Structure 1
């Protein structure tokens, strides 16, 4: 598939991609985005998600630059010259945004039509809306499963045509805008998001886009966000003893989740590990 970008618009071969315009966008503040963020839609067709992005009358209007269907069809919703509202509260390395804008100013949002986590029934794995999914990927999410329960659950697989189209698009973003990092929504918002999830082979995708050995771009951290500091506890609950009080701004790497509690590694200024324990997600960002 030949994908190119000109003046913010996606062209597949010699034709412009279908454009279902979202009103939910704003201008970049002068920052040149260098990150591609991969999402799943948690829904059915790419068109249904693109049409959802046309809604400005919801409590929290959202959008993405493109939605890619399971057959590789690309639908554009926001020009790449504009900022889509896809990231929410998020951070990556030392880049972040104000309030709920997160990494929107630093990134391009790419949605893949996919149901995400599945529900196990007596007749097999199904989406949250009851759509049967054959041959799901069975895995536990690296951030903990959405339900909070441990162990492997089902995830809808990503078809090869869809992944190839996404890789061609991100290569075009790298060529046109200098994108040099690819992350999942679950990388930049690990305490609240699970997309694109364990069914998406991020390491292989990075290599498909950049070549070489670019399989790992993982350097996400959280920080203690309360002035009074935060207790690092021996277990996931307030009844567990506190090891120490972490000062505001302490950098933490999330390792696993249990409910709203996160098992984290405390990082020194040079990024090396100092200690580990549990913190509540409400006090980190």
Structure 2
């Protein structure tokens, strides 16, 4: 974990969402994390899941990570989040009037999957690791967070790829990539 990626406290009562992302790059978790760190923007997810199923944690669950950024104007109300003082917003840059809401980071855990949209299937080991990670997050907080992908928060994101659509539906209804 890197303290430079933590942007304020996120006590359990504020946890509501798990936001899934694709890295849109072929590098492993370590290269993704090093790129985030080198950018100096303070952007990172709580976890990165490699294609081989290994998981790297970047930010403690009781801290805010800047993974969702600004969302569509009106989404704070839609998702029941608000832009409040727990988030230090260090490195956050507004992207336009259509995306003014900034509450999701304070109410969610971000998970990046190493994947590029259109590059083929998600490996079973990666999906199994995501199953286990979601179960871990549920157990940590003692409740089930709503699962969304990044493009639900901000229109126009590539996260997650079209190849993930059926898995996302299964995660949202069964908390696993495959219905059992």
**Structure 1 length-normalised TM:** 0.49
Shift of residue 167 of structure 1? 1.3
Q: Which has the higher helix share?
A: 2
Structural mapping, 1:61-100, within 5 Å: 61-90=42-71, 91=75, 92-97=78-83
Which of residues 148, 157, 175 is equivalent to 1:183?
A: 148
Question: How far did residue 205 of structure 1 move?
Answer: 2.4
1:39 aligns with 2:4: no
Cα-Cα RMSD: 2.4
Over residues 229-285 of structure 1, what are the superposed CA-to-partner deviations in whole Å (9 max), with x where a residue is unaligned?
Answer: xxxxxxxxxxxxxxxxxxxxxxxxxxxxxxxxxxxxxxxxxxxxxxxxxxxxxxxxx
Deviations 1:62-104 (A, max 9, x none): 0110100001000111111111110011235332436564300
Q: Superposition pairs for residues 142-221 of structure 1, below 5 Å? A: 154-177=118-141, 178-190=143-155, 192-200=156-164, 201-209=167-175
Q: Is the 8 A contact 2:68 2:150 kept in 1?
A: yes
The alpha-carbon distance between structure 1 residues 25 and 101, as it changes in their structure 2 partners (threshold 3 A), is farther
Q: Distance in 1 between matches of 2:109 and 2:146?
A: 11
Unpaired runs of 5+ residues, structure 2, are: 85-99
Bigger Rg, which one: 1
Between Structure 1 and Structure 2, the one with more strand by share is 1
Mapped contact 2:116–2:161 kept (Cα < 8 A):
no
